[in-house]
A and B are shown apart, each in its own frame.
Chain A
């Protein structure tokens, strides 16, 4: 993996020249830093076309995922600009459309298609992939030995929660397809499970109704007594209670880099097929779980049944249609 270098960032996100109080700065109020002690954006992941950074946007306490599509030196400059703009805008438009229609996707905070960056809401939590890895490897026997959701296995809560999670995945994908958007790269890594925000979902006066809120707020509360920097906040955020997440987390779709707005069942079926393959490659038991995703998907919107029928065809021939004609 290439190490992070400053020139991989677009303007204006290139790191500040280091100021005099670069180290040991006191905690700053979110809106009013005397001089911004902002750590440089941190490279989270990298794809073929883009780099994903984590940084703050607008205010220091608004975490943001910054997706940057650097110019490709091997393309003609004019073509490069057009492709970057078209792809960035396709992604941003799909995200905005989904968000307006109430599908859980990251909000678009800002964009600059000349510089090639897109700033999105940061979704904390785990990928479904990480979640499945965690629970299926731990409770391998529980699930693969019983076909019913939760019967006689030693950890029925986990198993039942996992099936509940699959239902939420099916609904999320169904909602997406219902509004005429296909994801284009629907894998278990592009599905996130996000903890309910502790401050807003649990009213101050009321008892937290479950451990998840308590544990998460306890974790952040403990950190807050220390000197809090963005880095520390990131660390505490990364430290999730997987069980609570599984039970109460909401399912969010991320990475709309290949998304398209189309009404065709074929594209929806390919989305499902890609997801099915992603489940199948995680763990043998996951294939069974995927049946629950499909079951709920089938009930989630009006055209879902025809998309499922189309899935049969896609299974028979693979993701790509015949190249002839």
Chain B
């Protein structure tokens, strides 16, 4: 099965496709992290802790900002891949962003992201998936909102982005309250995830302002 997603972000150049692959039950996180620390160019990925990613859009917002900053020469960290990790953070502390959103020794759910470059035309979905499958000891799962939903640690995200716990909802039209009934809990959880995504995207966009 192919576990890799090739994403092309609207407005970003065609030469910069985004490859994203998700793994669960990862056993060699310490090794992968070591490769990043040593600057092994074979392992130039954004290795993210998938439990800190709320949704596809959450990741894409970080990728967009990182690639945009790369295109205009405004990277604050070593390369576009480390910048993706940094862009997830709501503050300017690079080391803290790596600790929070990047791979750690205890990471078991891993999200690997690679940005294609015009200067490296040999990086394709096939080459990335082949390399990741040999490098990551874990079980590939598809990268989508449903999969993420089961992985995300919402409490951790609330802490990282300083979001309050469940707040009293803004007043909703009486009709909705009346018809929700049994569906209420399920629906509000999906709604509150969306609401959380909106706030988080805003906080990420304002980083460094």
Q: B50-86: contact bitstring with A at CB < 8 Å (1 yes, 0 no)?
A: 0000001100110011001001101000000000000
Contact A206 B179 (CB under 8 A): yes
Given the known A-B contacts A12-B12, A31-B5, A109-B61, are A206 and B183 also in contact in the complex, defined by CB atoms under 8 Å?
A: yes
CB distance from A97 to the nearest CB of B (A): 9
Which residues of B (1-33) have their CB < 8 Å from a CB of A? Answer: 5-14
Q: How large is the interface on A (under 10, 10 to 19, 20 to 34, 35 or more residues)?
A: 35 or more
Contact B72 A36 (CB under 8 A): no
Say whether A27 faces chain B, with CB atoms less than 8 Å apart.
Answer: no
Say whether B187 faces chain A, with CB atoms less than 8 Å apart.
Answer: yes
Say whether A275 faces chain B, with CB atoms less than 8 Å apart.
Answer: no
Contact A99 B199 (CB under 8 A): yes
Say whether A248 faces chain B, with CB atoms less than 8 Å apart.
Answer: yes
Q: A24-64: contact bitstring with B at CB < 8 Å (1 yes, 0 no)?
A: 00000001110110100000000000000001111110100
Residues on A with C-beta less than 8 A from B179 are: 202, 206, 209
Say whether B40 faces chain A, with CB atoms less than 8 Å apart.
Answer: no
Contact B8 A36 (CB under 8 A): yes
Contact A103 B170 (CB under 8 A): yes
Contact A12 B57 (CB under 8 A): no
Q: Which of B104-112, B114-122, B201-209 contacts A (4 or more CB under 8 A)?
A: B201-209
Say whether B173 faces chain A, with CB atoms less than 8 Å apart.
Answer: yes
Contact B169 A102 (CB under 8 A): yes
* Docked complex Cα distance between A206 and B57 (Å): 29
Contact B202 A108 (CB under 8 A): yes
Contact A108 B201 (CB under 8 A): yes
Say whether A171 faces chain B, with CB atoms less than 8 Å apart.
Answer: yes
* Docked complex Cα distance between A307 and B117 (Å): 56
* Docked complex Cα distance between A60 and B8 (Å): 10
Contact A59 B206 (CB under 8 A): no
Residues of A within 8 A of B (CB): 11-13, 16, 31-33, 35-36, 38, 55-60, 62, 89, 92-93, 95-96, 99-100, 102-104, 107-115, 119, 121, 168, 171, 175, 196, 200-203, 206, 209-210, 248, 250
Nearest first, the 5 closest Cβ-Cβ pairs linking A and B are A107-B198, A96-B202, A108-B202, A102-B170, A58-B60
Residues of B within 8 A of A (CB): 5-14, 56-57, 60-61, 64-65, 68, 71-72, 74, 163, 167-173, 175-176, 178-179, 183, 187, 190-191, 194-195, 197-199, 201-203, 205-206, 209
User: Knowing that A102-B168, A108-B206 are A-B contacts, what are 9 other residue pairs whose CB atoms are under 8 Å apart, sorted by A's residue number?
Assistant: A12-B71, A58-B60, A93-B206, A93-B209, A96-B202, A100-B163, A104-B170, A206-B179, A250-B172
